[in-house]
Amino acid sequence: MASEFKQPISIKEAVDNIHSRRYLLPAIQRKFTWSSEQIEVLFDSIMRGYPINSFMFWRISDAKIKSGYKFYQFLLAYRQKYAEDNPDIDTTGVPDFEAVIDGQQRLTSLYIGLRGTYAYKQPRLWWKNDEECLPTRKLYLNLSKPVSQKYDNQKQFDFHFMTQTEVDKIKESENHDFWFEVHKIMELDTLPKVTTYISENNLQNNSFAYNTLITFWGKIYQEKLINYYLQEEQDSDIVLDIFIRTNSGGTPLSFSDLLMSIATANWNKYDARKEIKEVIDQVSDASNINIDKDFVLKTCLVLFVDNIKFQVKNFTQENVKLFEENWERIKKCIISSFKLFKRLGFDNRSFRATRAAIPVIYYVYYNSLEESVYKPTYNSEDQKAIAKWLILSFMKSMFGGQPDTVLVTMRKVIKANLKKPFPAQEIMNEFKDDPVRNYSIDTEYIKGMLRSQKGSNDAFYLLRLLYPHLDYSSEIHQDHMHPKSIFENTEELRSIIPKEDFDFASDPQNWNSVLNLQNLNQFSNTSKQDKPLAQWAKEQAISNQELYLKPETSLNIVDFKKFIEDRMEILIQEIQNLI
């Protein structure tokens, strides 16, 4: 079958094809995302003769594709937040139709403008799905005059979405402009009907109104503005590859968008698109860590498929069915794992590589821990082992670049150690001979990390390693052992510190780094405040050993340089022992 550019058609023909459901959307297509302003600008561009680019359609004639893939109707009545999803349609046994591969946003905009409605939230109101919060709007065109460049230099023709109330108020005012309801152009299907409309509304003496409406009618009915390429090949892999290539501009299209359509088509009990969005939202709510569709699909592959690459061949009907059959447990394991990460003190910033969650999810899934792993009653040593492994993985960027081989290796280790505590050490040992990705950390690396500044990820990782006993499900503070206030007051610092040590003490690499930081819970940090370190340690009966210091190290601010040097030495030893 020939795939080629076809004779262009008019906007009227395209909108009629949408309305009669001859044009549909494949499940791979993303939601409609254009704002009302973008739609207005599109209609203005059409009136000004600007190109609106070509389209690509896929003629669906194969019965297996009609029944094996999911398709959607175009959105006609958009309501922000409440009606953003395209309606489903069962295409099994229907006549041949055309799926829009490229041009969904533009065609939906034309359809809404010429036949539909657009409702967006009024400012300063609480979200509620009613006409007060989201009044229904239709597209109108001002036939009285062009847009004033003083107020809008982007448009020439004044297309504007308005509510019926807004239109009625305009009509009640004196010397008001004439706003043409764009829907009506679909009723004026001949030029005589247009001229009659002009006469009936006393617009014949307004040359701008006359010329504008005649021009608009010609753009919709006469000019062949929809240039399209028709793909007639019935090989879905080829077409889906074309889809990725043609949608590579603008908002990036991930391969998971393509794979989502396959899952959506082959899941019977669940809607894959909605379910995956739900788990993404639930993870965010439960942990404040953000994941995406790619992550969820990659997790499914790691759990059940030998080859975990994002390739269509790995999303066979058999594999996708396996995902659906186990979806409830998959979802629970994902959410439970992220609840655990929050309990361990991680957030969206410190959990710097979401792929690091996948080995933990695998461990949770195959040990049936989804109901317990995140709870306080769960084995604390196992939780500490997972936290330590995550920190070292982040510190060494184990999941940077393309981590598929890393995930496969880790899966192999966990699989060999099922029904045992989390095999953190076994995983790290597996990478010891890898020159690129490994967990080895030498003294110079540790020294550099110890200079990490308060609030940085690296400071979080080191302090999390050094203070594993704290309850990270509650608020934990990075506290300056020698108070920050001393170092920020130059004159006070100069009066306290020996002259030869002043430059050292005033350097943030010393006073604002891990070398002068400790983790405290909120209560302890509040009680300490700006107390001198020696006074606080005495009041709390805290030993030098607990502060990672030598027994003889002075806690007096006068001896700050020796304090930092001693702590550097002890911390290097401690971190090497931990690793």
Least reliable range by pLDDT among 233-242, 348-357, 479-488: 233-242
* pLDDT tens digits along 424-470: 999 999 999 998 899 999 999 999 999 999 999 999 999 999 999 99
* pLDDT higher than 60, residue 248: no
Instruction: Using pLDDT thresholds of 50, 70 and 90, give the confidence band for residue 250.
Output: very low
Residue 236, pLDDT score: 65
Report the alpha-carbon distance of residue 29 to residue 99 in Å, rounded: 10
Residue type, 204: Q
* pLDDT higher than 60, residue 1: no
Please indicate whether residue 479 or residue 64 has the higher confidence score (pLDDT): 479
Report the alpha-carbon distance of residue 325 to residue 332 in Å, rounded: 13
* pLDDT tens digits along 327-349: 999 999 999 999 999 999 999 99
Report the alpha-carbon distance of residue 145 to residue 177 in Å, rounded: 8
Q: What is the mean pLDDT of residues 394-418?
A: 94
Distances (CA, A) of 545 to 28, 167, 369, 554, 566: 59, 77, 36, 12, 12
Residue 153, pLDDT score: 63
Sign of CA dihedral 516, 517, 523, 526: positive
Least reliable range by pLDDT among 168-172, 215-219, 338-342, 369-373: 168-172
Report the alpha-carbon distance of residue 111 to residue 134 in Å, rounded: 20
Average model confidence (pLDDT) for the chain? 92
Distances (CA, A) of 180 to 36, 118, 161, 168, 256: 17, 17, 11, 13, 43
Report the alpha-carbon distance of residue 379 to residue 137 in Å, rounded: 57
* pLDDT tens digits along 287-321: 999 999 999 999 999 999 999 988 767 887 788 88
Instruction: Using pLDDT thresholds of 50, 70 and 90, give the confidence band for residue 4.
Output: confident
Q: Exposure of 478 by Cβ count < 10 A (0-12 exposed, 13-18 middle, 19+ buried)? A: middle
* pLDDT higher than 50, residue 143: yes
Tokens of 327: 């979806």
Kind of pairing between the strands at 23-26 and 97-102:
parallel
Domain boundary assignment for the chain: 4-229, 267-440, 444-459+468-578
- Return left, alpha or beta for 264; rule: phi > 0 is left, psi -120 to 50 is alpha, else beta: alpha
Residue type, 435: P
Least reliable range by pLDDT among 25-29, 283-287, 329-333: 25-29
